[in-house]
Amino acid sequence: MAKKKTLWETYSPEQLAEAQAFCEDYKAFMSNCKTERECVTGIIDLAEEKGYRNLKALLAEGAELKAGDKVYVNNRGKMLMLVQLGKGTFQDHINILGGHIDSPRIDLKPTPLYEDNGFAMFKTHYYGGIKKYQWLALPLALHGVIAKKDGRSIKVVIGEDPSDPVLGITDLLPHFDKDMRTKPIGTAFTGEDLNVSAGTIPYIPENEEEEKDASEAVRKNILNILKQKFDFDEEDFLSSEFEIVPAGPARDYGIDRSMIMAYGHDDRICSYTSAMAQLAYADTVTDRTLVSLLVDKEEIGSVGATGMQSHFFENAIAEIMNLAGEYTELNMRRTLSNAKMLSSDVTNGFDPNYASIHDRTNAPFFAFGPTLHKYTGGGGKGGSNDACPEFIAEIRKVYDDNEIRFQLAELGKVDGGGGGTIAYIMGNYNMDVIDLGIPVHSMHAPWETASKVDIYEAFRAYKAFLEFM
């Protein structure tokens, strides 16, 4: 059999130029949006430019929605749904794209700031599946939000502007790590050791009153700086969310610039491309109602109010159906079970450094397009949504008719490990849903990599799904 050609070889010069331009925008998004909140505001900005309006405002007006109208629904600033109404009814079927916008990271504990021998430090609690040693001795940034009692919400970012300081978690010198290096990797680095260095300058008392309490002066100085910069009082730790993420922008990767290295490709790479695919139809009245779901909390089980298991999705669909004059309980149930969905999440791209974890005949490769996963899960497919072949045949037809390249693969060798997405939760509505993902390397590491042509081909794949399913 002839060797299959990569997208680099099959794209026209125009497509290559479009892919490069698309990836420039993606890099800018990834450099600016490193938390779920920043992704929500980033996508809302783009959606409003295209005429999307907040559901809250439409409800207040008692608006009547019709084909072509565009709505976004913002759940607590951490989960977002974009809906563009089509010519068909909701229960005919709606086309849904979904990805997650939370990424593995290190959060500050509720009472984080302490002083130890002249160092102000933050205690942390990691979020999602991180390999702890990867986060040591790296430039890190602090992103977050302070919810003040007076109702203000203050955004914090330290470490991204080139003139900003960065933070970090120290590593042990190899000259003295004898005890550490003989331990298994899972026990050598503990969660309680991931303390972030925040500063070393003691506060200088300004009067006799302050002179009396000279304890923890370095810690006090940090609080003083936070007060001046963000109007932050120590009690505000109670109602804040601070995330420690890798500092710095997304970059081209490889001497040939064929890839992008970024923090949080998992799963903003699918979320951004999905949202952009939907926004590409903003000036068209489509046959189907288009929905993009950008969800939080996937990395910890899709739980809570802003995770996919929340009732947010069906409540928001019900509100929009109501404004479109289509809501009844039965119509709603039919809408959910007739829907068609691409649940999108990154996949485990074949990596020459770790070839042994793959069955090569069923592995996703870079530059061959997005990967359909009929099922994910672990062991005997445990925990997986298993897409029906009839549904896959519909997708195949759409992709072949529109010259969209895709792969069909597994995450890795049988019994080698596993993974899950939001697909099974949507499957609970009895809708047709399949996983489609972009292959990445170093998944869940501070800096992940992916191929530019896969990113662009995924965007094309989402667009075709929205238009032709």
Determine the interface stretch with Mn ion among 153-161, 193-201, 263-271, 460-468 (rule: CB under 5 A): 263-271
Coil/strand/helix, residue 155: strand
Nearer to Mn ion, 345 or 351 (CB): 345
Letters for 143-182 (x = contact with Mn ion by CB under 5 A, - = none) are ----------------------------------------
Give the residue with the Cβ less far from Mn ion, 267 or 296: 267
- Per DSSP bridges, beta strands 251-253 and 259-262 are antiparallel
User: If phi over 0 gives left and psi between -120 and 50 gives alpha, with beta otherwise, what is residue 177?
Assistant: alpha
Q: What span, in angstroms and rounded, lies between the C-alpha atoms of 445 and 463?
A: 29
CB nearer Mn ion, residue 217 or residue 387 = 387
Interactions with Mn ion, residue window 339-378 (CB under 5 A): 345
Shortest approach of Mn ion to residue 444 CB, angstroms? 6
CA 383 to chain centre: 21
If the CB atoms of residues 293 and 317 are measured against Mn ion, the closer one turns out to be 293
CB of 79 to Mn ion, least distance (A): 15
Q: Which is nearer to Mn ion, 115 or 345 (CB)?
A: 345
Rounded CA-CA distance 114/124 in Å is 11
Give least dist CB 128 to Mn ion, A. 6
Q: What would the two tokens of residue 192 be?
A: 């309680």
Q: How far is the CB of 366 from Mn ion (least distance, A)?
A: 18
Closer CB to Mn ion, 271 or 335, in the complex = 271
Which residues neighbour 333 within 8 Å (Cβ) at sequence distance 6 or greater? none
Per-position x/- string for 218-237, each x denoting binding to Mn ion as judged by CB under 5 A, each - no binding = --------------------
CB of 278 to Mn ion, least distance (A): 19
* Number of residues near Mn ion (by CB under 5 A): 3
| CB < 8 Å & 24+ apart, contacts of 9-17 | 10/405, 11/453, 15/456
Shortest Å, Cβ 345 to Mn ion? 4
Nearest in space to 58 (alpha carbons), one of 442, 393, 324: 324
Q: What DSSP letter does each residue of 355-388 carry, written as one string?
A: GGGS-GGG---TTS--EEES--EETTTBT-----
Nearer to Mn ion, 38 or 266 (CB): 266
Could you give the CA distance from residue 7 to residue 453 in angstroms, rounded to a whole number? 6
Specify the amino acid at residue 72.
Y
State the nearest-atom distance from the C-beta of 308 to Mn ion, in Å.
12
Residue 413: CB minimum distance to Mn ion, A: 19
Length of the chain: 469
- Mark residues 316-345: x for contact with Mn ion by CB under 5 A, - for none: -----------------------------x
d(CA 407, CA 351): 16
DSSP string, 88-110: S-TTT--EEEEEE----EEEEEE
In the bound state with Mn ion, the residue whose beta carbon lies nearer, of 38 and 267, is 267
Token pair listed for 154: 């203050």
**Nearest distance from residue 100's CB to Mn ion, in Å?**
6
Output 299 or 319, the one with its CB closest to Mn ion.
299
CB of 201 to Mn ion, least distance (A): 38
Window 267-296: contact mask with Mn ion (x via CB under 5 A):
x-----------------------------
- The CB density around residue 225, as the number of other CB atoms within 10 Å, is 17
Residue 82 — φ and ψ, nearest 5°? -110, 130
Among 243, 266, 319, 457, binds Mn ion (CB under 5 A): 266
By C-beta, is 298 or 326 nearer to Mn ion? 298
Tell me if 74 sits within 8 A of 80, measured CB to CB: yes
Q: Where do contacts with Mn ion occur on this chain (CB under 5 A)?
A: 266-267, 345
